[in-house]
Amino acid sequence: MANIDKLVFVSKLLLDQRLIELKQENESLKLELFWRDYKFHKLQHQMKNWNLYGGPKCKCNACCGQDLAGDYELEDIQERICGFKPAFESFAAVHGLTFGKASHPIDECLDECHTHISGDNCLFVYDIDAHIIQIDNGSRWTYGTKLWKAKSVSDPELKKLVVLFKAIDTQVRIDLGLF
């Protein structure tokens, strides 16, 4: 093999390796942009809008405590079973999302909690095989492993979250008479 052929061969190998690295970096950046649009606080906002305009308009203790009930007076808080949780879970299930429940701090995934980009302000992510996790009997919600473990924006589980956001937007617009 001539020297020029060796140079071409080595150059191709290096270029191929660099191309793979660039593709991985590009996918990582796409995922980072995805989580900017779908961070948990944005789901929380969508949940609130759905409760107020497209859902059951629940004002139980848990919904008021999680700011899912919008503005309310103290006398508006209802001492009853939450109407939001089962209605939202049914609505989300239609779009392929599953729910789990964190019952103990042991369920927390401590090695990735503080670094994952799906949360805000060190909101814990849980190592529970579901899309959305209910914490403390409905007083808090976060993402489960089906979402935060995704390595690509083309992951079908992430696409389910996008569909849910669009469905909530559509339902809210219909109920507000904007469609």
- CB-based burial, 145-167: b 16+ in 10 Å, e otherwise: bbbbbbeebebebbebbeebbeb
Write down the domain spans for the chain: 39-176
pLDDT value of position 66: 81
Q: 31 or 67, which is more confident?
A: 31
Residue-wise pLDDT for 115-154, tens only, equals: 556 655 555 667 788 999 887 666 678 888 899 889 899 9
SS3 state at 34: helix
Distances in Å between the Cα of 178 and the Cα atoms of 47, 169, 170, 172, 174 are 19, 11, 9, 8, 6
| pLDDT given at position 1 | 64
pTM confidence score: 0.80
Q: What is the average pLDDT value for the chain, to the nearest integer?
A: 82
DSSP type of residue 115: T
pLDDT, one tens digit per residue, over 46-85 is: 999 999 888 888 888 888 878 888 776 666 676 678 888 8
